[in-house]
């Protein structure tokens, strides 16, 4: 029995030595000031667990808490874990928290309290700020300070212009920890398009980054140009256009070195030459345009809308006139061709019509049978019928059925012409290409078969050639 007691005592001593040499686990915890932070320890016995602060102040024994206004305890995971919650942590709660199980430290926590800074801009006396808007001057270096106070730990600062990293010289001055002040100075030259300037903190774990932002009002002197146009032929419109911030408060338009107007727009006569320019100024500076020489009826820049409309109308009318001339020439050409073709047909028809023989009433004999109609040689035919023919007509001898065979028989040449006319395919047709625009006196006679004798075929052929263009006839 004594042997068993000795062995139990030895094992207890060995376990105590092992526990005493055990190194506790260590962790770092960060809490935002004014918030709760919970520390969790692994244990074997709830009744024998003790929480200590900075290894000198006992906070609890088992489930009993000695300062319930500052701390709270709860057991988790089937009594294998005990959690200590620091309520509304402040700077006094910062330190070392240890968890002891049966008198031995099991876990240690180093709690750090973070405090966010107060952040603001500071500007030199030369920079004016109104309602968060900073007035800066274009092309002039601007110095702006960003100051972070009261942070724990000290924060870092960075700059942004319109959401982009600022381009310029940055100087940062960190004070001692007990003062808790960080100052950053930015020196940069503003651009016309700059809108916002921001200072942003960094370097803390649980405190979110803070940002202070200011609107930038970039001021610059006027940049002017003189616009000249003439709405009518009697006057010019002069407009002094300037870009500036703040807007110009003084304008001047000069004509021949004399002040014409203090407004930015004026109308002057365009009947005589002139030299014009304008200027404008604001609190930053002034600008004057280059002189412009105006002649009579000078067209400035830009061209007015009325002149552009007039040019367009003239071009449209010119195009319409050209189109009408082309149509007229085409129709004239077609009409000329038709008239020429008609004269050709009339001439060809005239060559086939025999000389009419009148009866008592001057009627024309039936020419359905060309062989029965006597043809007269053109060389022997006169413009007016002979007295003998008139006598025969008066006495009723014009009837071919009553005439003697000797008188009714045509000459040899007439026979030949009669044979030709009896067969239409043998009648020579005139080539339209050889027809002249103005017919001769003889052609005029042929176009009026009732007024003159029958034309001789041989003469026609000798003069005009063989008529092969049947299709035109």
Query: What pLDDT sits at residue 21?
Result: 54
pTM, entire model: 0.53
Residue 224's pLDDT band (cuts 50, 70, 90): very high
Q: What are phi and psi of 144, to 5 degrees?
A: -130, 135
pLDDT, tens digit, 9 for 90 and up, residues 396-420: 444 444 444 444 444 444 444 444 4
Query: How far apart are alpha carbons 358 and 376 in whole angstroms?
Result: 15
pLDDT, tens digit, 9 for 90 and up, residues 247-260: 999 999 999 999 99
pLDDT, tens digit, 9 for 90 and up, residues 108-141: 999 999 999 999 988 876 677 667 788 889 988 8
How far, in Å, are 92, 392, 396, 403, 413 from residue 358 at the CA level? 155, 10, 10, 14, 23
Q: Report CA torsion sign: 438, 442, 447, 450.
A: positive
Task: Name the 3-class secondary structure at 213.
Answer: strand
pLDDT, tens digit, 9 for 90 and up, residues 34-44: 999 999 999 99
Query: What pLDDT sits at residue 333?
Result: 85
Query: What pLDDT sits at residue 398?
Result: 46
Closest of 468, 454, 445, 375 to residue 416, by C-alpha: 375
CB neighbourhood size of 194 (10 A)? 19
Question: Which of the two residues, 363 and 260, has the higher pLDDT score?
Answer: 260
Closest of 233, 350, 353 to residue 297, by C-alpha: 233
Query: What pLDDT sits at residue 235?
Result: 81
Beta carbons of 307 and 275 less than 8 angstroms apart = no
Read off the pLDDT of each residue in 267-283 and give the average, rounded to a whole number: 89
Query: What pLDDT sits at residue 400?
Result: 44
Q: How far is CA 380 from the centre of its chain?
A: 90
Task: Name the 3-class secondary structure at 234.
Answer: coil
pLDDT, tens digit, 9 for 90 and up, residues 159-208: 999 988 877 778 877 776 668 899 999 988 899 889 999 999 999 999 99
Beta carbons of 151 and 117 less than 8 angstroms apart = yes
Structure tokens at 185: 């100075």
Query: What pLDDT sits at residue 464?
Result: 59
The answer to whether the bond into 302 is cis (omega within 30° of 0) is yes
Question: Which of the two residues, 141 and 5, has the higher pLDDT score?
Answer: 141
User: Which residues, other chains included, contact 158 with Cβ-Cβ below 8 Å and sequence gap of 6+?
Assistant: 165, 184, 199, 200, 202
Q: How far is CA 17 from the centre of its chain?
A: 87
């Amino acid at each position: 029995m004594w042997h068993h007691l000795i062995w139990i005592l030895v094992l207890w001593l060995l376990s105590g030595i092992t526990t005493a040499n055990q190194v506790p686990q260590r962790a770092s915890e960060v809490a935002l000031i004014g918030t709760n932070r919970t520390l969790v320890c692994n244990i074997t016995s709830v009744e024998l667990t003790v929480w200590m602060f900075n290894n000198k102040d006992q906070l609890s024994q088992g489930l009993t808490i000695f300062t319930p206004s500052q701390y709270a305890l709860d057991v988790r995971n089937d009594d294998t874990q005990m959690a200590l919650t620091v309520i509304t942590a402040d700077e006094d709660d910062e330190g070392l928290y240890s968890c002891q199980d049966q008198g031995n430290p099991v876990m240690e926590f180093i709690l750090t309290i973070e405090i966010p800074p107060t952040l603001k801009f500071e500007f030199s006396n030369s920079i004016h700020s109104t309602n968060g808007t900073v007035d800066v001057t274009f092309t002039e270096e601007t110095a702006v300070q960003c100051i972070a106070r009261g942070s724990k730990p000290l924060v870092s600062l960075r700059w942004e212009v319109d959401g982009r990293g600022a381009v310029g010289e940055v100087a940062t001055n960190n004070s001692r920890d007990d003062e808790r002040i960080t100052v950053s100075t930015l020196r940069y030259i503003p651009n016309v398009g700059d809108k916002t300037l921001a200072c942003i903190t960094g370097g803390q774990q649980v405190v979110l980054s803070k940002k202070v932002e200011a609107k930038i009002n970039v001021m610059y002197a006027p940049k002017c140009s003189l616009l000249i146009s003439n709405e009518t032929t009697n006057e010019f419109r002069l407009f002094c256009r300037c870009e500036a911030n703040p807007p110009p408060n003084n304008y001047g338009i000069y004509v021949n070195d004399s002040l014409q107007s203090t407004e930015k727009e004026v109308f002057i006569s365009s009947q005589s030459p002139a030299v014009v320019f304008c200027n404008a100024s604001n609190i930053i500076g002034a600008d004057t345009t280059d002189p412009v020489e105006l002649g009579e009826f000078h067209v400035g820049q830009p061209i007015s809308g009325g002149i552009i409309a007039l040019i367009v109308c003239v071009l449209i009318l010119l195009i319409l006139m050209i189109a009408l001339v082309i149509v007229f020439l085409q129709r004239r050409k077609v009409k000329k061709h038709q008239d020429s073709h008609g004269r050709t047909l009339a001439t060809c028809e005239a060559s086939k019509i025999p000389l009419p023989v009148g009866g008592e009433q001057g009627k024309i004999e039936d020419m359905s049978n060309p062989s029965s109609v006597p043809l007269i040689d053109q060389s022997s035919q006169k413009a007016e019928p002979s007295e003998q023919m008139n006598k025969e007509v008066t006495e009723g001898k014009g009837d071919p059925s009553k005439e003697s065979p000797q008188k009714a028989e045509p000459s040899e040449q007439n026979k030949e012409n009669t044979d030709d006319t009896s067969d239409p395919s043998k009648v020579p047709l005139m080539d339209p290409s050889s027809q002249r625009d103005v017919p001769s006196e003889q052609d005029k006679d042929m176009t009026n078969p009732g007024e003159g004798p029958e034309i001789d075929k041989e003469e026609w052929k000798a003069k005009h050639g063989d008529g092969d263009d049947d299709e035109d006839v």
